[in-house]
Amino acid sequence: MIRVLLAEDDIAISEPLARAFRREGYDVTVRADGAEALKAAKDNPDLVVLDLGLPTMDGLEVCRRLRAEGRTAPVLILTARADEVDTVVGLDAGADDYVTKPFRLAELLARVRALLRRGVTGTVEEEGGIRIDAQARRAYKNDEELQLTAKEFDLLRVLVREQGKVVSREQLMREVWETQWFGSTKTLDMHVSVLRRKLGDDATRPRFISTVRGVGFRFERLDA
């Protein structure tokens, strides 16, 4: 059974959300403050749903500590702060995705399903010194492991798989987020930005991931 850790101090949100998760067949643990959520994470849940405004320890610090401890479970952030700065900070802390309050339950459940998806193919792909081990869900640059979140890994895997080809924003949203996306792709842009930084790429003169304006992104063919 999939185990979800829900860290939310507002019972008006946590109780109906926990019920919805259980209807989906998930085993849910609910914690109302950051310190208790961090302790509960030692049981290695499959997904962490994390409110930013937690007492005792805020959600960003919980996320940072989870990643510092080497925990790789996907983290979905719930936030009432929708501006770009807060979102970027959340992604920098190691979160995989975010949903702003108030949210539609159907959308949140779709994001959860996307984060839990594991496209394991058992293949190893390599291009330009970047190696993707899909079975182990690990990525390496020049044999040094990259510390990627679940979404960053999925994004890199799709781009490397289609190396040399332009991958549209719509395709990336469909494959990585499992959704049809007709509006803003700011979430995608921010994940690409963080992924570039982890690859040591320069956005102004990219070696790995190029932006094709109005279309999407391309992972450049390079000599290994």
- Look at residue 120 in the predicted model and tell me its pLDDT: 35
Q: What domains can be seen in the chain, in order of their start residue?
A: 3-116 (3.40.50.2300), 124-219 (1.10.10.10)
* pLDDT, tens digit, 9 for 90 and up, residues 119-143: 333 445 565 678 888 767 888 998 8
Confidence at residue 80, expressed as pLDDT on a 0 to 100 scale? 80
**What string of H, E and C letters represents the secondary structure of the chain?**
CCEEEEECCCHHHHHHHHHHHHHCCCEEEEECCHHHHHHHHHHCCCEEEEECCCCCCCHHHHHHHHHHCCCCCCEEEEECCCCHHHHHHHHHCCCCEEEECCCCHHHHHHHHHHHHCCCCCCCEEEECCEEEECCCCEEEECCEECCCCHHHHHHHHHHHHCCCCEEEHHHHHHHHCCCCCCCCCHHHHHHHHHHHHHHCCCCCCCCCEEEECCCEEEECCCCC
pLDDT of residue 164: 86
Which pLDDT value is given to residue 86? 62
As averages over each run of 10 residues, the pLDDT of the chain (224 residues) reads 93 96 94 96 93 92 91 87 61 81 88 68 59 81 88 90 88 78 72 92 86 92 58
Say if pTM beats, i.e. exceeds, 0.85.
Answer: no
> Which pLDDT score is estimated for 135?
67
